[in-house]
Amino acid sequence: MTAILEARGVTRSFGPIEVLHGVDFSLVPGEIHALIGENGAGKSTMMKILGGYLAPTTGALMLDGKQVSFADQRAAEAAGILMIHQEFNLALQLTVEENLFLGREKRRGPFLDGRAMREEARTLLARLDCHVDPRRRIQDLSVPNRQMVEIARALGRQARVLIMDEPTAVLTGRETDVLLEQIERLKAQGTAILYTSHKLDEIARIADRVTVLRDGTHITTRPAEGFTEHAMAEAMVGRELSDLFPAKAKPGADVVLEVEGLTVPGYVRDASFTLRRGEVLGFAGLVGAGRTELMEGIVGLRPAQGTVRVNGTPLKPGSVRAAREAGLVYLTEDRKDKGLLLGKALTENLTLLALDTFGGVFIDPQAEDQALDQAIEEFDIRVKDRKLLAGSLSGGNQQKLLMAKTMLAKPQIVIIDEPTRGIDIGTKQQIYEFIAALAAQGKSVIVVSSELPEVIGLSSRVCVMGRGHIAAELSGAEITEDAILRRAMGVSETTGEPA
Amino acid sequence: MTDTTVESDATPRRGALRLQTIGPVLALIALIILGASLNSNFLGYANVTNVLARSAFIGIIAIGMTFVITGGGIDLSVGSMAAFVAGVMIMTMNALIPVLGIGVPLVAAGMAVALLTGLAAGLLNGVLIAKVGIEAFIVTLGAMGVYRSLTTWLADGGTLSLNFDARSFYRPVYYDGLLGVPWPIIVFAVVAIVGEIAMRKTAYGRHCAALGANEQVARYSAVRVDAVRMSTYVLLGGLVGLATIMYVPRLGSASGSTGTLWELEAIAAVIIGGTVLKGGFGRVWGTVIGVLILSLIDNILNLASIVSPYLNGTIQGVIVILAVVLQRQGKSAD
């Protein structure tokens, strides 16, 4: 079958730097073509070129066999090419149907034709098996439902080509399943789909063809069948990958953190657990189980009742600063909105948490510079220019910067929420090593993660949360995906009945 | 996310930033040259001290405003707050004359009352904004009306005048100075220097910028966001008090129309100086330049008869908009 959309020998330069070197890529109707690569490999640039957001510097774009150049993304949209961004392009205050028809509202005379729009919105959502009332506001929807609205919006615009930038990055396992089913359905209807994800198991599951990019170069395009996840990872990284997870350190005996009967109103009730020196404690559970809220309650970012003791001393509630001074820090899952000041330079981000250790009355800029040198070295933050803004770093480098920032506060206990969200496999491995190294140094780490292999691979003990309370605590050989999932969903082992 | 995409875009942007930074300075130099070529008295001692001393009120307030705006806030109440502080100060001083007589204690008491009133008014704004959580625009818009009306009420619709002898005694605070430099200019300079250092070199300034750039990130980074936010309004209130202390001896009176539009002039000066209106970045020295630009325009229009001084507001308004356009152009590079 001939390609709908094809890129031939596409290069793209930003100023003097070429980031794509002659990449070929094609999309055939009714196929899912996965584009994979590490952060910074050029995936986003490639997608933006195909979606009309960027023009190629050299090389050609072919639409239905004819050379085209899109003036902008609207021109690409008019040709049936739609890109779904990682950060949604939805107006939060508007309703589902208003979003679906934004910019192409149906009218009757000078007035909006509300009934026709609602009707069509329903049809579109029904096609996706998504039962959301079109009159609800986007801000009241869950993330997966927003994703569905975003896809419905693309469908409503008669998309022939759908470009999906890591659509499952923020979804849980079950939500991912639903989404992948919808994608399969779109494929069956003849839509050509470009799919990116860092989760290689998804790629193996749904892709027909896989293209690997590394450092802006096209490495290979192969049928997905027979392309193992391990082989994909190695093609992305360009070297052989050893074990993803480092060896687990043996935790010490003394308890450094005791949480007793902690209740975060509306999210968590009566959570109790302990953490020992040098231990990596995993927190698993479905999205919405209250893991993040529990951690935020512990460090004082949310109002909470109950006691938190660090080294036996009760922590002043409601004060992030007191927690930090006690050696307890929390690394947020939301690095873009809560972790880093994207519009500020690296140093300002790096030292913000531990700013009072940099000089007395006046901030010591030299000490800050040294700290950045050290962070770049220690955490392998790859930057071309130290004066860059934090927002211009790739996700992996942002995460490393966030870790460096947190570690500057010299914590004894580190809570890391989703340590590798949206991060490529090479960087993931590095972050796992940092976490293991922290534990080996005698610090204690709590890892909250929705990726089960991560929780299992890192932790010596796992707390499973379900619906706002700690449903189970597993250790040693008990820690299996199956056991965690069953506990998280509230299914008891023996009877299979809801607990 | 492809890091390379944005990284390479950062270079032209920084070039544009540099133009943004230097733009107001160039404008100020151009105004000075223009003024000097239009009127030979422009650079004379009398005119220079006059312009600077009159800029001092707005200037002192604008420096406080720089911190508020950098922290992501706004304060519309400063003009009427100044009128209210002046009214309270004058009434207190008049009332204290039988007790303290005319002299230093009376003036000191008046100054203390002015400062405390300013701080209290700022604290009230700050508590409502940071603790109660009402939007700054709403709180200070309300406060603007309240103080304006309270002043008019205190003055019973007319003017509150400082006792004649007290006024004569107090006058030197505006008209005299040190080595020929009037006090308001000295105070303005000190406030500007301290403000600049606080903004750039201390954790407080960094925290204000972090708060304005992204409150959540600041909160997660153990910054006491409520305290910092509140403190910016208290600081501004205190500076309004300080400005009023300099202002009252100039005319010795206050009325419902004292300090009209000062809030807008202060905000305009802050924006012209390169501070970002939605917060996250503040430049105190830029604010000083902004204040000087605004007062020089006024001064030149009054000295030269080419353009009617009535058009002062028009020109100032155009300049504010131009300054923001300049800021925007720096951003459109990415």
Range in A461-465, B239-243, B310-314 with the lowest mean pLDDT: B310-314
Q: Which of B196, B204, B208, B217 to mutate to test the interface with A (most CBs of A within 10 A)?
A: B217
Q: How far apart are CA A141 and CA A132, in angstroms?
A: 8
Yes or no, beta carbons of A321 and B14 under 8 Å apart: no
Residues 19-58 of chain B with CB under 8 A from chain A are none
> What is the per-residue DSSP string for A445-494?
EEEE-S-HHHHHHH-SEEEEEETTEEEEEEEGGG--HHHHHHHHTTB-TT
CATH assignment at residue A181:
3.40.50.300
Distance, CA of A133 to CA of A58 (rounded, Å) = 46
Total domains present in chain A: 2
Indicate yes or no: CB of A320 within 8 angstroms of CB of B207.
Answer: no
The radius of gyration computed from the CA coordinates of chain A, to the nearest angstrom, equals 24
Dig out the tokens for B166 from the structure. 């007290």
CA distance A232 to A226: 10
d(CA A95, CA A133): 9
Angle, nearest 10°, between helix axes A229-237 and A425-440? 90
User: Could you tell me if A207 and A268 lie in one domain?
Assistant: no
The answer on A228 and A291 residing in a single domain is no
Q: Confirm whether A499 is domain-assigned.
A: no
CA distance A203 to A197: 7
Q: Are residues A379 and A428 in the same domain?
A: yes
- My answer on whether A262 and A207 are in the same domain is no
* pLDDT at residue A151 in the model: 82
Residue spans of the domains in chain B: they are: 25-328
Give, in order, the Cα–Cα distances in Å from B119 to each of B78, B81, B237. Answer: 12, 10, 5
Q: Which of B63, B84, B83, B122 is nearest to B266 (CA)?
A: B63
Distance CA A442, CA A96 (A): 50
Interchain pair B220, A43: CB under 8 A: no
Phi, psi of A448 (to 5 degrees): -100, 125
Contacts of A114-120 with C-beta under 8 Å, sequence gap 24+, read A120/A156
Say whether A363 and B206 touch across the interface (CB within 8 A). yes
The answer for residues whose C-beta is within 8 angstroms of residue B173's C-beta and 6 or more apart is B107, B183, B245, B246, B249
Residue among B137, B123, B121 at smallest CA distance from B82: B121
Q: How many CB pairs under 8 A join A and B?
A: 120
What tokens appear for B116 in the block? 């405390």
The residue type of A298 is: I
Does A187 share its domain with A287?
no
Q: Is A467 part of a structural domain of the chain?
A: yes
> Considering all CA atoms of chain B, what is the largest pairwise distance in Å, rounded to the nearest integer?
75
Does residue A415 contact residue A446 with C-beta atoms inside 8 Å? yes
Q: Which of B86, B17, B72, B34 is nearest to B219 (CA)?
A: B72
Q: Dihedral of CA A323/A325/A330/A334: which sign? A: positive
Residues A261, A404, single domain; the answer is: yes
Put simply, whether B11 touches A (Cβ < 8 Å) is: yes
Residue A264 bridge partners (DSSP): A268
DSSP letter (8 states) at residue A362: B
Chain B residues whose CB is inside 8 A of the A341 CB are 210, 213-214, 217, 280
Q: Per the CB < 8 Å rule, is A40 touching B3?
A: yes
- For residue A244, tell me if it sits in a domain: no
Domain assignment present for residue A248? The answer is: no
Question: CA B294, CA B155: separation in Å to the nearest integer?
Answer: 30
Residue numbers in A near B12 (CB within 8 A): 15
Based on the fold, state whether residues A271 and A231 are members of the same structural domain. Answer: no
Chain B residues touching residue A42 (CB < 8 angstroms): 2, 4
Under an 8 A CB cutoff, do B217 and A343 touch? no
- A268 is a domain residue: yes
Query: Is the CB of B220 less than 8 angstroms away from the CB of A395?
Result: no
Which residues on chain B are in Cβ contact (under 8 Å) with A48?
5
C-alpha triplet B298, B300, B305: angle, nearest 5°: 110
CB distance from B223 to chain A under 8 Å?
yes
Out of A237, A267, A284, a domain closes at: A237
Q: What is the pLDDT of residue B333?
A: 38
Query: Residue A329's pLDDT is what?
Result: 94
Residue A233 and residue A268 share a domain: no
Please, which residues bridge with residue A324 across strands? none
B123 vs chain A: nearest CA distance in angstroms?
A: 22
At residue A372, the 3 state secondary structure works out as helix
Chain-centroid distance of CA B127 in Å reads: 21
- Residue that terminates a domain, selected from A170, A205, A237: A237
CA dist A214 and A235 (Å) reads 8
Report the gap between the CA of A158 and the closest CA in chain B (Å).
26
Verify that A445 and A297 share a domain, yes or no. Answer: yes
Is A391 in contact with B6 (Cβ distance < 8 A)?
yes
A70 lies in the same domain as A155? yes
What is the dihedral angle through the alpha carbons of A250, A254, A260, A266, rounded to the nearest 10 degrees? -40
Domain end marker among A179, A211, A237: A237
Summarize the confidence of residues B51-59 as an average pLDDT: 92
The answer to whether the CB atoms of B214 and A395 lie below 8 A apart is no
Task: Give the C-alpha separation, A324 to A411, whole Å.
Answer: 7
Q: What is the DSSP letter of A152?
A: H
pLDDT of B330 reads: 54
Q: Which residue of A has its CA nearest to B12?
A: A15
For A3, list phi and psi in degrees, rounded to 5: -75, 140
H or E segment and range at residue A413: strand A413-417
CB distance B197–A86 less than 8 Å? no
Residue type, A365: P
Count CA atoms within 13 Å of residue A174 on its CB side. 8
* B8 → closest Cβ in A17, A41, A86: A17
Token pair belonging to B218: 């600041």
pLDDT digits (tens, 9 = 90+) for A274-289: 999 999 999 998 777 8
pLDDT at B306 over 80: no
Mutate to test the interface with A, among B5, B70, B276 (most CBs of A within 10 A): B5
Residue among A14, A324, A409 whose CB faces B4 most closely: A14
Per-residue DSSP letter, A101: T
Instruction: Name the residue range of residue A269's domain.
Output: 255-488
Q: What is the SS3 string spanning chain B?
A: CCHHHHHHHHHHHHHHHHHHHHHHHHHHHHHHHHHHHHCCCCCCHHHHHHHHHHHHHHHHHHHHHHHHHHCCCCCCCHHHHHHHHHHHHHHHHHHHHHHHCCCHHHHHHHHHHHHHHHHHHHHHHHHHHHHCCCCHHHHHHHHHHHHHHHHHHHCCCCEEECCHHHHHHHCHHHHCEECCEEHHHHHHHHHHHHHHHHHHHEHHHHHHHHHHHCHHHHHHCCCCHHHHHHHHHHHHHHHHHHHHHHHHHHHCEEECCCCCCHHHHHHHHHHHCCCCCCCCCCCHHHHHHHHHHHHHHHHHHHHCCCCCHHHHHHHHHHHHHHHHHHHHHHHCCC
Is residue A466 in a domain?
yes
Q: Are A96 and A50 in contact (CB under 8 A)?
A: no
Residue B211 forms contact with A (CB below 8 Å): no
Alpha carbons B303 and B35: distance in angstroms, whole number: 8
Judgement on whether residues A156 and A186 belong to the same structural domain of the protein: yes
Residue A98 tokens read as 């208003």
Is A356 within 8 Å of B8 when comparing Cβ atoms? no
**Distance (Å, rounded) from C-alpha A358 to C-alpha B13?**
29
Nearest to residue A150, comparing CAs of A190, A102, A187? A102
Judge whether A423 and A198 are in contact, CB under 8 Å: yes
Q: Do A330 and B2 touch (CB under 8 A)?
A: no
| Facing residue for B216 by CB, picked from A42, A338, A363 | A338
Under DSSP, the state recorded for A286 is -
Q: Are residues A300 and A430 in the same domain?
A: yes
Residue B68 has pLDDT above 90, yes or no: yes
DSSP A16: T
Min Cα–Cα distance to chain B from A370, Å: 17
A304 to A336, A448, B131, B269, B328: CA distances (angstroms): 25, 19, 18, 44, 43
At residue B15, the pLDDT reads: 46
Give the least confident one: B64-73, B189-198, B305-314: B305-314
End-to-end CA, chain A: 52
* Domain B25-328 annotated CATH 1.10.3470: yes
Ranges of residues in chain A whose predicted pLDDT is under 50 = 493-499
Angle between helices B225-251 and B45-70 (to 10 degrees): 160
Give Cβ neighbours of residue A34 (< 8 Å, ≥ 6 apart). A194, A195, A196, A197, A203, A206, A207, A209, A210, A211, A224
CA–CA separation, B288 vs B24, rounded Å? 10
